[in-house]
Structure 1
């Protein structure tokens, strides 16, 4: 079995030599997955497409720094996430504590059946989260980063990452419950 780090090695080596057809092939292999990462971070299709292009351009420029210590997809995903975070930071968006979301009283679980979760209604719910909560939710739950890593990436405290994640998770549950009640 080929180790993850060596998947597509021939294509990667051809990219390092500047072969355009290899770059195109590598792009075709990873663009969809990396777009999904970018979209979850940016919450906007056009911005996600821009970040995807910028990420691939950066990856191709830094291809010589890829040393097969991790899977190429993991290396590329880190570039995509950092590119998105840099773009968000350039807009000078501050992470908020989202306290205003929870001003209303929460109802206790009445033992009713849980709402049906679909990709569409979860995505719709995520789009309604404040940017900070959405980023942390995406990095933790969808990208698999732990709170220590998220804190380092975003320049926040680990406890802030944890509390933002819990608030985002609760808010998504509320949105999904509201969607189900309204028949969405």
Structure 2
């Protein structure tokens, strides 16, 4: 980020600390798309991801004083979004049921690989289709870059169980991709 943009961002953060609604709206506009994508990777669907993102931004603005200007502001927001998604997952985990992956019928709908965006949407839908505990560990390790030790500490599981979750998630994703019937568009 250029120095001018960094200065503008710091001014926005300072205004948010004073409760300036316009500054909050601007920060929301600047980061909402990226943060929605982060939330979507952890959530089951768009509605849940939107709810998590809104809860996350509420935390951002109520806890803005906790941001000390050290490190990336975007990274600080991202961490809040991931933590909000994990909180929502834990809250919903009590109401979730599990389904044996072998009992699930494969989706017979063809997948179109028209461009990178379509392929990314398809991959995201596959990740969202993973059981919650596998999806969370996979996202944290592969996408967010947490170590297995950190994942274990955050989720309250062993480091080895984190490795098993990521391994199983990868295997399930590979199987889903192998079973897909891509349609190539000219």
TM-score class normalised by the smaller sequence: 0.7 to 0.9
Superposition deviation, residue 87 in structure 1: 1.4
Name 2:20's counterpart in structure 1: 19
Superposition deviation, residue 93 in structure 1: 4.1
Deviation string for 1:26-46 (max 9, x for gaps)? Answer: 001110111111111112111
Superposition deviation, residue 49 in structure 1: 0.7
- What is the distance in 2 between the residues matched to 1:64 and 1:160? 36
- What is the distance in 1 between the residues matched to 2:124 and 2:62? 33
Contact 1:147 1:162 in 2 (8 A): yes
Contact 2:53 2:81 in 1 (8 A): yes
Name 1:59's counterpart in structure 2: 60
Name 1:108's counterpart in structure 2: none
Deviation string for 1:142-169 (max 9, x for gaps)? Answer: 2222212211221111111111101101
| Structure 1 pair 94–46 and aligned structure 2 pair: CA distance change class (3 A) | closer
* Structure 1: stretches of 5+ with no match in the other structure: 104-115
TM-score of the aligned structures, taking structure 2 as reference length: 0.80
**How is 1:144-159 mapped onto 2 (pairs within 5 angstroms)?**
144-159=145-160
- What is the distance in 2 between the residues matched to 1:149 and 1:85? 13
TM-score of the aligned structures, taking structure 1 as reference length: 0.80
CA RMSD for the aligned pairs? 3.0
